Amino acid sequence: MKTAVVWFRRDLRLADNPALDSALSCAEKVVLLYIHAPHEEHPWCPGAASNWWLHHSLQAMRRELKQCNADLVIRRGDSLTVLDEIRRKVGAEGVFWNTLYEPAMKRRDQQARHALRTHGLQVRCFNGTLLREPGDVLKKDGTPYRVFTPFSKCYQGLELPAPLPAPARIRSAHGRLDSLDVSALGLLPALRWYDGLQETWQPGEEGARIRLNVLSGAFLDTYPAERDIPALEGSSMLSPHLHFGEVSPSRVWQATDVRPEPAPGVVGNMPAWSFRRQLVWRDFAHHVLWNNPHTSDRPFNRKFEGFNWESDPALLERWKRGETGIPIVDAGMRQLWHTGWMHNRVRMIAASVLCKNGLVPWQEGARWFWDTLVDADLANNSMGWQWVAGCGADAAPYFRIFSPVRQGRRFDPQGRYVKRWVPELEMVPKSHVHDPWNMPATISGASGILTGKDYPAPALDLSGSRHRAFERFKLLRE
């Protein structure tokens, strides 16, 4: 093959990129192509935080490619139209890409394969996104898993091939092709609200390598105990790098190969497996969405199709702003706005307060997370919200309604996380940092916080709303 096109999407890396590696081994020259086509992802077009990340990830990709004497051709428009133009201009004989698994991407890939093969091109697609592709992990009867624990057992003892090295040099055929500058895609907003994101993250393959280096034996040793403590740096922070494909999940999996795993069927809390389990959850979310494409917008459990959710615009707005008067929730929502990320334990608490205490439809919260998270991933986001709401695969039972006060005291006992993101409560003693509305007048006066004035009164009666939600979910079950 003389010339091939490598179609980059959310696989913005050179190392362990099977589509790129295969194209370089098959073709004399390659065109490295990125097509900006957010309209093709409707109704889940990337949100503002994702666009910020993509802007910097594409810039980083171009810097990496310069070291290989190559560049990324950037176009915008309909993918099939651009692919057809590029293949005609360079006389391409093949197109290579790594598969995406969201419903809209699945349809687009099917159309692209058909159209390109009609023109006589070779089309080769690879798994560069998950540990194992949907369809590779099925129950004995050939049906998809609906529960995570048996699904995860299929991954214990999983052995993966060695990660593919990044190419030292790329034989590029892009010289005759025009390319847009990244800035021409308009990914950055006119209002500069993203300074906190810029302070927190380094998008791109180099940033992913830095995060990957954190996965040492010491990190894994403490991971099971610290992963749920939001005040600690107990998370790898790799999720946005995984979403944009700046590092492959298989490379992350193998980076944790420093401890033995439990034997198949053995329940254990070994550090490496505790971390790897999160990668398996990621696979599970994509497998669920692949097999149930409606779950991006509608409940996995069909019983919830007619559930009596309640619209509460005032509560939703206070929740978005981090002004619910519930400290652990407000801390999480403010962390989200400032950094584009929220600790996973706090995500569950914040989601539970909105869609169980508040009975606000889970889709409302999912949309806000989609717009504000730098790691916004359709499969993970949809399954996470449905898990909390009780309507998803392997979901939390209807009677599991998180108490934000109890959760705060358990996972942020000193109030360090809350006080970092809700500085109004800095002087509140730890005994009341998670329920300042219960402070006696003497403590309130000494801390300088008057609930309802210096810090909002709770937007919900937590006890009453919990009882209301319990009864409503119980009726659905019955």
Model confidence over 393-451: pLDDT tens digits? 987 777 789 999 999 999 999 999 999 999 999 999 999 999 999 999 999 999 989 99
Name the helix (H) or strand (E) containing 200: helix 195-200
Cα–Cα dist 337/332, whole Å: 9
CA 71 to chain centre: 28
Neighbours of 365 (CB within 10 A): 26
Name, in order, each residue with C-beta under 8 angstroms of 225's C-beta and a sequence gap of 6 or more: 234
pLDDT of residue 261: 52
Q: Where do the H-state alpha helices sit in 247-403?
A: 249-255, 271-291, 313-321, 327-339, 344-352, 362-372, 378-389
Is a pLDDT exceeding 90 seen at residue 477? no
Q: Write the CA distances from 429 to 197, 405, 437, 438, integer angstroms.
A: 30, 14, 13, 12
Cα–Cα dist 210/236, whole Å: 10
Q: Where do the H-state alpha helices sit in 33-171?
A: 48-66, 79-90, 103-118, 148-153
| pLDDT tens, position by position, 338-372 | 999 999 999 999 999 999 999 999 999 999 999 99
The CATH fold of domain 130-160+197-291: 1.25.40
Cα–Cα dist 248/243, whole Å: 9
Measured over the CA atoms of residue 240, residue 20, residue 131 and residue 127, the dihedral's sign is positive
Confidence of residue 266 (pLDDT cuts 50, 70, 90): very low
| pLDDT tens, position by position, 370-396 | 999 999 999 999 999 999 999 999 877
The CATH fold of domain 3-129: Rossmann fold (3.40.50)
List the domain boundaries for the chain.
3-129, 130-160+197-291, 304-477
Q: What is the DSSP letter of 172?
A: B
Confidence of residue 272 (pLDDT cuts 50, 70, 90): confident
Superfamily of domain 304-477: DNA Cyclobutane Dipyrimidine Photolyase, subunit A, domain 3 (1.10.579.10)
Measured over the CA atoms of residue 246, residue 226, residue 156 and residue 134, the dihedral's sign is negative
Domains 130-160+197-291 and 304-477 share a fold: no
Quote the pTM value. Answer: 0.95
pLDDT of residue 472: 92
